[in-house]
Amino acid sequence: MAIKIGDIFPDTVLTYVPYDAKNPEACGLPQQLKTHEAFRGKKVVLFAVPGAFTPTCSEEHMPGYVRLAGDMKSKGADIVACVASNDQFVMHAWGKSYSVKDDILMLSDANGELGSALGLVNDGSARRMGPIRLARFALIIDDLKVIYVGIEPAPGVSVSGAPAVLAKL
Amino acid sequence: MTIKVGDEFPEVQLKYVPYDAAAPNACKGPQLLDTKKAFSGKKVVLIGVPGAFSPTCSVQHIPPYVAKADELKAKGVDLIVCVSGNDFFVMEAWGKQEKVTDKILMAGDANGDLGRATGLSIDLSKAGLGAVRLTRFVAIIDNGKVAHLAVEPDPTEVTVTGADKTLSAL
């Protein structure tokens, strides 16, 4: 049921707080991102994490993308984005903690719409992380068509990590 | 269905990452907080906020509680807890940003148990914060009983739930 290569990426609404180069310390106004509108005609690297500020996501997954986002863009990615079920304020703050600026778009899927549409949402209640958590995965989306799917089979970061994705661009 | 003054505060499990003064940047093992056990025999100020890292919560609501934590304790408060619908990792990181150190225990109610048990949950899906969040409130809980409850009529503002108002209620 999970998304696969060849599928059209779903059209959902995510939220984010944009980076403001003039006012980097401010917490700007949240905005909506409609995935089809934003991703049409573009090559997008989208990686998903179960939780902002959690150990694996913060220490193993995100740093790879912070380091390689520029290389991904040199290899043709127009947008590098991170999505989680945390809300947009949390995602913005987490991005700031890595000084991502506008290198990585920090997106929120707080209602789990994208996760459900992709078949990649889990229930984190047993660990008190709430009923909606995205799985750990990475996708390469080319003009709305999914051309790479890396869903982590186990805890840790491998097929959804930045090096694996960079190799596929 | 909403909790009121005189009620027994419900027993729910929250989760938090304890502050460690010796390793303030570490993220040590999360722990469970059972409200009945943790609040028994104590005077507790419980602050509910809609969202960690959000503007009102970060700028207007929490900083005065950090600044006045000692005054609250001088008036008999044993424990100050801040809780939201965010998870405990987020609350811990936010607590670090707000420099709460050990003055306020930052707890997560990501499963929505506290919101449901108190009737103080609010659907903030339209604002992008998810369907089960806490509204903005402050409760003074004395040996498990609700002695004071202030619920912000507009959760985007801080009026009746501010630190000064809570101090006067003690």
Q: What is the pLDDT of residue A66?
A: 96
A131 touches chain B (CB under 8 A): yes
pLDDT at A144 over 90: yes
- The per-residue pLDDT for range A16-69, each reduced to its tens digit, is 998 877 776 666 788 999 999 999 999 999 999 999 999 888 888 999 999 999
Average pLDDT over residues B99-123: 94
pLDDT at residue A78 tops 80? yes
Distance CA A49, CA A156 (A): 11
Task: Indicate yes or no: CB of A128 within 8 angstroms of CB of B13.
Answer: yes
What pTM value is reported for the model?
A: 0.90
How near does any CA of chain A get to the CA of B51, in Å? Answer: 8
Q: For chain B, what percent of residues have pLDDT higher than 70?
A: 96
**Does residue A31 sit at the B interface (CB-CB below 8 Å)?**
no
Report, as residue numbers or ranges, the catalytic residues of B. Answer: 57
Amino acid (1-letter code) at residue B54: S
Q: Does B26 score more than 80 pLDDT? A: no
Residue B164 clears pLDDT 70, i.e. is over it: yes
Cα–Cα distance for residue pair A123/A135, rounded to 1 Å:
10
ipTM of the complex: 0.86
pLDDT digits (tens, 9 = 90+) for B141-159: 999 999 999 999 999 999 9
- How close, in Å, is residue A125 to chain B by CA atoms? 6
For B40-50, what is the mean pLDDT? Answer: 97
Higher pLDDT, A71 or B126: A71
Average pLDDT for B32-57: 94
Residue A57 bears catalytic tag: yes
Q: Read off the pLDDT band of B56 (50, 70, 90).
A: confident
Q: Is residue B29 less than 8 Å (CB to CB) from chain A? A: no
State yes or no: pLDDT of B137 exceeds 90.
Answer: yes
